A = this chain, B = another copy of it.
Amino acid sequence: MEQLTPTQRTTIKRIPKRGNYEYETVYKILDEGLVCHVGFVVDNQPFVIPTAYGRIEDKLYIHGSPASRMLRSLQGGIQVCLTVTLIDGLVLARSAFHHSMNYRSVVIFGTAEVVSDPEEKLQALYAFTEHVIPGRWEEVRQPNQNELAGTLVLALPLLEASAKVRTGAPLDDEADYSLPVWAGEIPLRVVADKPINDSRLQPGIVPPPHVQNYNRQKK
Binding site for B on A (CB under 8 A): 9, 13-14, 34-35, 37-41, 44-50, 52, 64-65, 67-69, 79-83, 85, 87, 90, 92-97, 99, 101, 103, 105, 107, 109, 125, 129, 132-133, 136-137, 139-143, 147, 151, 169-170, 172, 176-202, 205-208, 211, 214, 216
Contacts and interface: CB of A to CB of B under 8 A. Distances in A.
A189 B187 contact: no
Contacts of A125: 96
A99 B193 contact: no
Given A87-B34, A95-B140, A147-B97, A46 B41 contact: yes
Contacts of A132: 90, 99, 101
A104 to B, nearest CB: 10
Contacts of A109: 45
A102 B96 CA distance: 34
Contacts of A139: 181-182
17 contacts: A14-B65, A34-B101, A34-B188, A35-B103, A38-B48, A41-B44, A48-B81, A48-B83, A49-B83, A95-B142, A96-B125, A96-B140, A97-B151, A99-B132, A169-B196, A182-B211, A191-B191
B182 A207 contact: yes
A96 B10 CA distance: 35
Q: How many copies does the complex hold?
A: 2
A96 B137 contact: yes
B142 A96 contact: yes
Contacts of A96: 125, 129, 136-137, 140-143
A205 B180 contact: yes
A174 to B, nearest CB: 10
B68 A140 contact: no
Nearest to A15: B65
A72 to B, nearest CB: 11
A14 B87 contact: no
A195 B185 contact: yes
Nearest to A64: B14
Contacts of A181: 139-141, 205
Given A14-B64, A48-B82, A48-B83, 15 more contacts: A34-B87, A34-B188, A37-B83, A46-B81, A47-B81, A48-B107, A50-B105, A97-B147, A140-B181, A141-B181, A184-B211, A185-B195, A185-B198, A186-B195, A189-B191
